[in-house]
Structure 1
Amino acid sequence: MSNTEIRVVTGPANYFSHRGSLSRLNDFFTKDQLSRAVWVYGERAINAARP
């Protein structure tokens, strides 16, 4: 998988679930990648992500 592909993962976003973690997104993603990112969570999103 290239770093430009979008993945849908079910479950909580544990990597970015603690205070201050969102400020570290720039350490992992480029500005361009973040400009195209959409974060969705909830029962409907989880159901939609299931194969």
Structure 2
Amino acid sequence: MAQQAALPTVVVELLMLHVHAGDPACIMVADLLSRNGLIDQPLLPKFGKRIRS
């Protein structure tokens, strides 16, 4: 497994921009990164399972 390394701030900011816009792929990536401790950004308040169509 790859060593855990900090993600550049700009990458996290752009990812979170898309998360807040409701992009399902970005939501999944942000959730994965958050669960693995690679980002400490809080995600949107509990989405439920709602993803934009």
The normalised TM-score by structure 1 is 0.31
Tell which has more relative contact order, 1 or 2 (C-alpha 8 A, sep 6+): 1
The normalised TM-score by structure 2 is 0.31
